[in-house]
Amino acid sequence: MRYKIFEAKIKVFDIHITTRSVLSTDVLNEEYAFLSTEAEYQKKYIDGIALQTERFYVKPLDRRTFLKNFFWRYYKDTLLDEGDVNYWYLQMPFVMTLKDGDIRIDSFAPDVDMKVDILVYLTAIGWMTVINIGFKGDIDLEDKFIEMVRSILDKDMSIYIYKSQRISISKLFQIISNEIKYDLYKSPENSLDRLKVAKNHVISILHASGPVNCYNDKYIFDENSELSNMSQYDKALMYSLLNGRKVTTKEFVEMESTHDSMPFSYISYDLFGLDFALIDFRKGVLVFMQNLANNKDNINTIGCLTSNVSNCLMMTLLLQRFYFDSNANQREDSSFVNLRKNIKQILLSLPDEYNNNFCRALYKKQMPFI
């Protein structure tokens, strides 16, 4: 029985970190001066007022987002100052949307509906650009969907159409970064200290049909059981999907034999591993709730989980990279020192505060050196 994808989502993001412009109002345009001080950052968040700049609409995360998105809800409570939320120490992001953000993507087949949009999450220590791509159709996973993922992630394939220009995903990220840079800084050269985190992605299967088998080999089922283990061939398909390229069964078996040396984790969301996520810490995450995805009524539930996974991964990479890269630029300014200290505390506390399977696996692999 073959896997068929009816609805899926891919989130691709890159992250830019800045150290020199933190707490430096003189390099920021007037509209963004609030980013540089704790008091103004806090006030802007509490007021909840959106602003318009030359290129963007900018607003804090709203109450509805904190209620609906579990990650932001728990992240908000990671650092409480006498019961109050300190948005500055959390570096809680502001959401930016392009005023001229009409972007399209080449359809891979007439029966596949694809939509794309862009969001930017802005903080005082950097920004995260997220390209969201949604799929609807009747798509064979092996013959078509893996190839679609490959094309979307390929840095050289010009499948995106932005302002009537055909561009690759790398070029699209570069254009958005330049838009942010020119909107944010008085002079573009003030952003020369930006440090870029390698592009990551989260792939989520929202609705699908196909076999529902146990990924976890520690469970052995006899012939009378309703459950069975996923074949090595199908596991190779899952890893092909995560990587955006065809991985043979032989290659996958060889990779698994060196599992302990790989930056790779498997997460089960149920007892037998029917609903699971695969994480390659060099590239991204595949979320396949294969049991839930058989029922289209669960699309919103899986979509919510996908957003939580993506937000957790983005914020972790942003905070982690800033914490270590800012060490070389350590300043005597007490506000800067306190910001770094609190970011370290967030990285240490988040797995306890946001105690889900993905967060625990991510921090077990990524955080030991803090």
Report the alpha-carbon distance of residue 87 to residue 246 in Å, rounded.
43
> Position 103: which residue type?
I
Question: Is the separation of the CB atoms in 277 and 270 below 8 Å?
Answer: no
Q: Assign residue 157 a region: left if phi > 0, alpha if psi is -120 to 50, beta otherwise?
A: beta
The CA–CA distances, whole Å, from 138 to 3, 107, 116, 208 equal 10, 13, 18, 9
Amino acid at position 255, single letter: M
Distance of CA 222 to the CA centre of its chain: 39
What confidence score (pLDDT) does residue 93 get?
A: 96
Phi-psi category of 90—alpha, beta or left, where left has phi over 0 and alpha has psi -120 to 50? alpha
Confidence (pLDDT) at 189 = 67
Q: Which H helix or E strand runs over 115?
A: strand 113-123
- The rounded distance, in Å, linking the Cα atoms of 175 and 167 is 10
Task: State residue 370's pLDDT score.
Answer: 46
Q: 12: helix, coil or strand?
A: strand
What whole-number distance in Å separates Cα of residue 323 and Cα of residue 348? 12
- In angstroms, the Cα distances linking 100 to 14, 138, 259, 339, 351 are 20, 31, 45, 34, 38
Closest CA to 173 of 93, 119, 134: 119
What pLDDT was estimated at residue 142? 85
Quickly count helices (H) and strands (E) in the chain: 11, 15
Per-domain residue ranges for the chain?
Answer: 4-366
Predicted confidence pLDDT, tens digits, the chain (370 residues): 689 999 999 999 999 988 766 667 788 889 999 998 889 999 999 999 899 999 999 999 998 888 888 899 889 888 766 678 899 999 999 999 999 878 888 866 778 888 999 999 999 999 999 999 999 999 888 888 998 898 898 888 999 998 888 999 999 999 999 999 899 988 866 555 566 777 889 999 999 999 888 887 766 666 667 778 888 899 899 989 988 888 899 988 887 776 554 556 677 776 667 888 888 877 889 999 988 999 999 999 999 989 988 998 899 889 988 888 877 555 667 788 888 889 998 988 887 777 777 777 777 665 544 4
Q: How many residues does the chain have?
A: 370
Q: What is the DSSP letter of 190?
A: G
